[in-house]
Structure 1
Amino acid sequence: MPHHDHTADDLSVLIRCQEDHDAVVRLHSRYFPDEYGIGFAVDARADGLQAQLQAVEVWVWDDVSLPDFIAQLAAEYRGWSEERTWQTNHLSVNASFHTGGHVALTWNLRRWLTRSDSWQASITTWLEAGEQMTSLAADLREFLPIPTPLR
């Protein structure tokens, strides 16, 4: 019987807006629900806002991983025209390219998807299209490696 680590580790990723240093998104408390997934917590903070999701989970069968989504955006540092979106159960990230080589990443946290007493919070972090996005993709790849099922 394989052993799965359900305890959180200390690795984290901090995304700080270059325009407003008080606007921060932090991915942390990574855990492994089983051999096919990775779970983590998300904190979003800005002036007048503090939101947290305890259990965002990503799986090997998801269409695109968050690290791959960010890496794809970083590779297109000259820009793109339409907004692009990555999403999983309670978290989505909308990306848009702006003049001056900046990317706006809007992090949308949703506590419940179908309940009427749910809440939603969004925070936008502005990053440089080239080096900062490439660095974020590398940090995310370390934090969210593709799970390798045990055989």
Structure 2
Amino acid sequence: MSSHDNGTDDGPGVTIRCQDNSAVGVTFCDRFSFDEDSVHYAVELRAPGLTARANEVVAWTWDSDLAPFLEGLASDYRGWDGERSWETNDKDLTVAAVFRSGGYVGLTWALRPWPRAAGGWAASVTTWLEAGEQMSSFATDVRRFLSVEPMERPAGA
């Protein structure tokens, strides 16, 4: 299930919680932009015993972004074979999607900030959604979150 909420800084945000375990979730928050070409945002992963955050994931307006990927999954609500995947240009956020019988989509969210740096880290969680309305609603929420007009970078950020 997804919700359009106020993120962690009282700004716009989107949270997706796993249908199988609501303690597992992903939040998109703390969005800012320097120009019309990109939107920067934070991604937080949560699960029992895990909290991980990447502070500056970048969505480029000229590239294939997360929203079209999610919309494509939503449009294929009858299912597909194998795994579909998406990643940011920097490979700091990746999503792998699988279809499970009964009409559910499993999204495995992986954060790997500084993927080429020594001592880097990685974390992942998997959320399950209904392939139809829940997936479609989530895709719409993410599109809204990523397509907001450019904003100033928050003070102190």
User: Which residue matches 1:126?
Assistant: 128
Same amino acid, percent of matched pairs: 46
User: In the aligned structure 2, how far is the partner of 1:111 from the partner of 1:138?
Assistant: 26
Taking structure 1 as the reference length, the TM-score comes to 0.88
User: Which residue matches 2:17?
Assistant: 16
Shift of 1:116: 1.9
For the aligned residue pairs, the C-alpha RMSD in angstroms reads 1.6
In structure 2, relative to structure 1, the CA distance for the partners of 1:47 and 1:20 (3 Å cut) is same
User: In the aligned structure 2, how far is the partner of 1:76 from the partner of 1:39?
Assistant: 28
- 1:65 partnered with 2:65: yes
Structure 1 counterpart SS, 2:46:
strand
- 1:36 partnered with 2:37: yes
Structure 1 residue ranges, 4+ long, deviating more than 4 angstroms after superposition:
none
Note if contact 1:23-1:46 (Cα within 8 Å) is conserved in structure 2: yes
Structure 2 counterpart SS, 1:126:
strand
User: In the aligned structure 2, how far is the partner of 1:53 from the partner of 1:33?
Assistant: 18
User: In the aligned structure 1, how far is the partner of 2:57 from the partner of 2:70?
Assistant: 17
Note if contact 1:9-1:30 (Cα within 8 Å) is conserved in structure 2: no
Consecutive unaligned residues of structure 1, counting only runs of 5 or more, are 1-7
Taking structure 2 as the reference length, the TM-score comes to 0.85
Consecutive unaligned residues of structure 2, counting only runs of 5 or more, are 1-8, 151-157
Note if contact 1:36-1:147 (Cα within 8 Å) is conserved in structure 2: no
User: In the aligned structure 2, how far is the partner of 1:127 from the partner of 1:72?
Assistant: 15
User: In the aligned structure 2, how far is the partner of 1:59 from the partner of 1:50?
Assistant: 26
